[in-house]
Each structure stands twice: as structure tokens, then as C-alpha cells.
Structure 1
Amino acid sequence: MADERLHKNVKISGWGSLLTDMSTEMIMPVLPTFIVAVLKAPVTALGLIEGIAESTASLLKLASGYISDRIGKRKPLIILGYSFSALVKPLLALATGWIFVLAIRFFDRVGKGIRTSPRDALIADSSGKKKGKPFGFQRFMDTTGAATGSLIAFIILRHFNASINSYRLIFLISFIPALAAVIVLLGLKEIARTNNPDNKSSIQKPSFKTLPRRFKYFLIVSFIFTLSNFSYAFYLIRAKSAGIADWTLPLLYLINTVSYALFAYPSGIASDRLGARNLLGTGYLVYLMTALMFAFIDLSWFPFLGFVLYGLYQALVDTNSRIVVAELSDEETRGTAYGAYHTAVGIAALPSSLFAGIIWQKLGGKASFVYGAILSLIALVMLITISKEKSQKKIATLGELEGKNELQGDQSPTRE
């Protein structure tokens, strides 16, 4: 039973994620309105801000993962990344123009890019062979923080009647949980590596070339699936176009977040018994079904169930993708592997919504969801081939062992 307990690093990382996402999700639901309605910026500025912010995070995730492998330490980069974001977020309260917001979002995402890959690698390093429960716990805590932050922002806006000062108050208050997260994360401990990174001859220099071939194939699978996975905003727009009242749209977002939080931890625990790749494939299938439902089913009664399924898909995919990365990578290049994964997903996320928007404009909303379903089906088929390859190798290995045992005959000791 002791082996099933969560490592202290996993618990600390989970609480750090909860507090940080509480801070972030106090800001994100109100930031678009603040930019467009308060700062009077064009909608194109909003797209530019988020595009640059997410691109920055994606590129830095690869670099930070590689650096953590080279120096043999995860904690310094984790603390640096969380601290960077915590310090810049409250500066949004001083914004008088969208360029200033762009700068703050850029530096906030720099912090995310620095911390994410080393954090995921440390969780994997601290988790032994069974990584489902630890990653499920981390995603559960992350999403619980997000839901709490959104609720806090809603309460503040409602209390102050969405005045200009209420937005700036939210930005200032967001510093409190962000700072608390950094303090909590100071309790992280480095995990001794099997190979000593200080001994240059003991390990191969970590690089993309040294990553296993099957892991690189998984990157392609993840890239294709992410292309199918356009922004949840399209799901909200689809619900609105079906006649759903505006005031219920935030409720749909909250349902999605709560669904994610409820399913994340159980999906991680289940992966230790059923296999991360099997549950990841299930997540792809749930997304495919959800996309087809939004394309063809009457949404006047469906959207609430649809956003529950959307949260289920997110929990299955986000949790188990991280576990598969750990399974397909070696210990000495794990940080690089997580960096490559997060970068591939981040790069694919940029054009995915753009393609969906173009298809929506040219062919209508249903076509966008059909496009998503087709790409997710392709990714699902490719993922299945990875699992089959593993099974075939396992059978071959067992066959070789049986052959050796037959040759050795009575030389092998018999145990009662």
C-alpha cells in the first residue's frame, strides 16, 4: 500500500498548480472584455496577444526541458518559472493600452514555458512505474484551481457591477495565490537520477535525436490530434447559434471545468490498471463523438451534456498524454521529451483554431466540427498502431526468453 501513496513532490506540485491556476483563471475569463471593452482595443489585438503568448510558452517548453536534463535538476527552473509569472500578473492593473497587456502576457507565458516541462519531468521522476495516479492528481488540482479562480472573478465582478476598477482589483488580487504557489513549491526535492549528469561519460547528451523512435511517432500523433482540437470558444459559439441564452454561456464554461476536474484524477488512477495508451485512445474517441454531436444533434437540449463530455475528453487526454510521454522516453532525456511534446502540441494549437474559423466562414459551423472529427479519427488510428507495436515486441521478447529457457534445460533453478 505504501507504494500507492503520492510522493511529497506530487502533492506539492499539485497544490502549486491549484494556486497558480486559481490566479490565472481569475484573470483569463475577464481579460478579453477588459482588452476590448475597457481598453477599446480591436478584436484583432486580442488574437495577436494570445497568439504571441502561447507561441512563446510553446517554444520555451522545449528549451527548459532540455536544460533540466543537462543540469540534472528540475527545481530551479520550476521555481524560476512560477516566480516569473507571479511577479508580472498584478502589473495588468496598471494597463492603459493593449500593448502593455501584450507585454505582460508575453512575460507571464515565459514563466509558464520555463516551468512546465521540468515540473512534468519531476512528477514522472517521483512516481515510480505507476504514473497514472500522480498525473491524475496534478490535473485534478490544476483544474480545481481554475474553477475556483473563475468563481472568484465572477463574484468580484458581480459585487462591483463589472466596473473598470473591479477588473483592476481582480488583477491585483491574483498575485496572492500566485505568490502562495511559489512559497509552497519551495518544498520540492530533487530526485536522484539513475545516471549522474555530472559524469559526462555516463549519459548521452540529451537532444531530439536521442529520443526513441516511437516517442517521435507519438509526437506526430499528438500534433495531428491537436490540429483537430480547436478552441472551446467555437463550442460556445455553436451553442449560442443554436439559441442558448448569453447568460448561460459562462455556466457552460464552468460545467466544462468542473467535469474536467472530476474526471482527471480517476482517469489517472485507471490508467495504472487499464494502460495510459488505452485511456488516451478513449479520450480521442470521446472527442470525436463530441465533435460529431455538436455538428449534427439538436443543441437546444444537448449543450450541457456536450460540455460534460468535453471535460471528460480533456481529462483523459491531458492526463494520459503526459503518462505516455514518460512511458516512451528514457529517464536521462525525460525533460527534453516533455519539452518536445509540449512544443509540438503548442505549435499545432496555433493553426487549429485558424483552420476551424476558415472552414466555419466558408462552409458553416457543422463543417468545422466534422473537420475536427476526421482529424481525431486519423490520430486515433495512428495511436492504436503504437499500442500494437508494443504488444508485438512484448510477445517477441517472451518468445526469446522461452527459447533460452528451453536451451538451458535443468540449469535454471526451480522454485516452489
Structure 2
Amino acid sequence: MKYLTRTIWLLSLVSLFTDLASEMLYPVMPLYLKSIGFSIVLIGLLEGVAEAIAGLSKGYFGQWSDSLGRRLPFVQWGYGLSALSKPMLAVLAAPWWVFLARALDRLGKGLRTGARDALLSDETTPDTKGRVFGFHRSLDTLGAVLGPAVALVWLAARPGDYRLLFLLAFLPGLAAIGTTLLVRERPRQPAPQPIRPFWASFSYWRRAPAAYRRVVGGLVAFALFNSSDAFLLLLARQRGLSDATVIGLYIFYNLVYALAAFPAGYLSDRLGPRRMLVAGLLTFGAVYAGVAQAHELWAFGLLFGLYGLYAAATEGVSKAWVSNLCARPDTGAALGTLAGLSSLAALVASVVAGLLWQWGGPALTFSVTAAVAVVVAGYLALAKSSSPVIS
């Protein structure tokens, strides 16, 4: 497959190593946080604030990479900060320190995301973007399969020993840093706009094409209600499943996601990203409606599998769609703005989900989110777009 260049392979491997490190911790984080005294609302606040930090920085650093005409330094420093945050969690269990570690991790994500996605986009043509972003998501999510598997084996041997696990997660992070040093960036002309101040992170929105604003507006509206996956894991645990089973479900979800991401990207190139995104959002609505009523292991297994199909049909596909709705020199700002606005929306989504859970229980939380997903799917199905890639 000639469209999978050396740069695409290396960036995909970097994401694999980083996700392996992150996902060693992600499924156990809600359990760890509860063990050190975090409430459901505080967990939602932590996840929301962390994503807000990523959101505020994604648009800014994506725009900055356009202005400099360089992507690679943002990628290298971003993955470095995320790797450093992992062993920090082993040092201290105080809530303020946990917030600091998560903030550093998300700042690293904000630093690298727009620049990395722009590097990927620069390696493609409009006809292959779905496949390339799908391939990247496949390897990224393979790390999300391996990471929880390592955590599952570790906790089976050493139940409740979270802190040494945080130290072990630093090793694949180091591998990610080393791999970024092998990436070579093509020279490009800087974008004409100056570097704007941090508070102007989302200034691209004002000059973006109308089609971009329509599509990204719909995606952000969905993100306002799409809370952290931590709530899905907490619900499964609350419904009586063991820690090992919950982690196993998370591994299964990521395995389905990893296997389906590349085929979903291929189909989006053939059928158009609009159809794939709408199908993915409808699948999400069905999953969340079902989870609100699920109690048996088989039901959770089916729903987590469908959830993997939703992720495959939306994550990489949305980036491929949006990158075709902007001028090539603005790719970093366009993708960074999408990622940034989505992360800021996650602040609202996670806090609201925690409050809805406290007030009306998990059924209310998941039912409201399912309804919003269906509404947004209808909007995107009808949204006008001038992109030649969109059917």
C-alpha cells in the first residue's frame, strides 16, 4: 500500500506506544481515584478539566505549527510531556497532584495533536485520507488493546498495586519519544498569518469556510454530551461486574475498534465520510440507550463491541472529512480547532454526566446522551458541504 509512507508508519507506531502507556492506566484510573477518595462528581471534574487544558492548547499549537511551517517539534515535545506524566502518579496520591499529572498529560496531547494530524494529512491525497487516518487509528487503538491487557495481568498478580503500574507505564512512553526522533518532516512554507496570543486559540473559526463551520459545529454539539468513557466503566462495575471483567470489556472494545478503524476509513473514502459518521453516531445512540438498561455480562459485551464500531466509524473519519474542508496551509489550525473545541466540550460533558448521575442515576445520564447523538446524526445527514469528498 504505497499511500502508507514511512512518516505515516512512524507516527502510527508513536501513537501505539503512547496509547499502550496511557491505556495501561485508563481503565484502572476510576478504580484508583475512588480508592483514594474521589467522588463521581470529582472524577467527572478531573476528566473535564484535563480535557479543557488539552482543548485550550490544541487550537493554539496547531495554529502555531502552521505559522512556523514546522510540525515535528510540537509532536516530539507533546509526546515527551505525556510520557513524563505517567510516573508522576506513583509519587503522591493527593488530589492536587493527580490533577497536576493529568494536566501535564493533556497539555502534551494539546501540543502534539494538531501538528501530528497535519503531518498525516500532508502525506495523503483527498482520495486516501480516510484510509490513512483509519490506519493511524488502528495502530493507536492497538495500543489501547495491549495496555489494558498488561494492566489486567498485573492486577491479577498484584491486586490493588496501582503505583508500580504507573511507573511501568513510563517504559512505552520512552519508546514513543525515541520513535519520534526517527520522523523526518518535509520542508514547507509557513502560513502567512502571525502567531496569535494563547487566548486567540480558536481564531481560525472566524476565517474558516462555511462548510467547515457547519460540520465542526455538529461534531462539537455531540461532544458537549459525549462524556468520558470512565462513566461506562464505572457503570459496568456498579452493575456487579468485577474489576477484571470491566478491564476485559474495555480491551474487547478497543480490539473491535482497532480491527474496524482501517476498513471504516476505506469505506469512508468510497462512500463518503458523511455516511460513515452518521452511521457511527446512530450506533452510539443505540449503545448508550442499551447501556442504560444493561445488567448482564452478555449485554455489556454486545454493547462494548458496538461501541468499538462507533469509534471506528467516527474518530479518524471526522479528521479526514474536516481536513478536506480547509486550505492545505491551514490544516494544523483546522484540525487543532476541531480537537480543541471537542476537548473543551468534554469539560461540560463530563461535569454534566457526573451531575446527572448524582441526580437521576446512570439511566438518565446515558439516555440523554443517546438522544443527543441521534439528533446530531440527523443534522449532519442534512448539513450542506462544498467538499468534493463528501457524498
Residue of structure 2 in register with 1:171 after alignment? 166
Residue of structure 2 in register with 1:411 after alignment? none
Match of 2:181 among 161, 186, 189: 186
* Structure of higher CA gyration radius: 1
Aligned pairs for 1:93-112 within 5 A: 93-112=90-109
- Whichever residue aligns with residue 16 of structure 2, its letter is L
Distance 2:246 2:190 in 1: 50
Residue of structure 2 in register with 1:319 after alignment? 316
- Whichever residue aligns with residue 355 of structure 1, its letter is V
8 Å contact kept, 1:211–1:333: no
Deviations 1:285-324 (A, max 9, x none): 2112223333467756422111100111011111111111
Higher relative contact order (CA 8 A, sep 6+): 2
- Whichever residue aligns with residue 385 of structure 1, its letter is L
Q: CA deviation at 1:237?
A: 4.9
8 Å contact kept, 1:64–1:118: yes
Deviations 1:174-202 (A, max 9, x none): 12111111111122222344xx327779x
Distance 1:6 1:393 in 2: 20
Distance 1:14 1:361 in 2: 39
Q: CA deviation at 1:273?
A: 1.1
Distance 1:304 1:356 in 2: 22
Match of 2:269 among 244, 269, 272: 272
Aligned pairs for 1:70-81 within 5 A: 70-81=67-78
Superposed structure 1 runs of 4+ greater than 6 Å apart: 198-201, 391-395
- Whichever residue aligns with residue 61 of structure 2, its letter is S
8 Å contact kept, 1:224–1:376: no
Distance 1:254 1:326 in 2: 30
2:224 is the alignment partner of 1:231? no
Q: Among the aligned pairs, what percent are the same residue?
A: 35
2:328 is the alignment partner of 1:335? no
Distance 1:208 1:283 in 2: 25
The secondary structure found in structure 1 opposite 2:324 is helix
Deviates more, 1:178-187 or 1:91-100: 91-100
Deviates more, 1:118-127 or 1:231-240: 231-240
TM-score by length of 2: 0.88
Residue of structure 1 in register with 2:246 after alignment? 249
Match of 2:157 among 159, 167, 170: 159
Match of 1:287 among 273, 284, 287: 284
Distance 1:40 1:244 in 2: 21
The secondary structure found in structure 2 opposite 1:230 is coil
Residue of structure 2 in register with 1:147 after alignment? 145
Aligned pairs for 1:27-46 within 5 A: 27-37=25-35, 39-40=36-37, 45-46=42-43
8 Å contact kept, 1:89–1:104: yes
Distance 2:276 2:367 in 1: 23
Residue of structure 1 in register with 2:17 after alignment? 19
Residue of structure 1 in register with 2:210 after alignment? 213
Shift of the 68–362 alpha-carbon distance from structure 1 to 2, 3 Å rule, reads same
8 Å contact kept, 2:222–2:372: yes
Q: CA deviation at 1:251?
A: 2.2
- Whichever residue aligns with residue 277 of structure 1, its letter is R
8 Å contact kept, 1:283–1:317: yes
Shift of the 272–101 alpha-carbon distance from structure 1 to 2, 3 Å rule, reads same
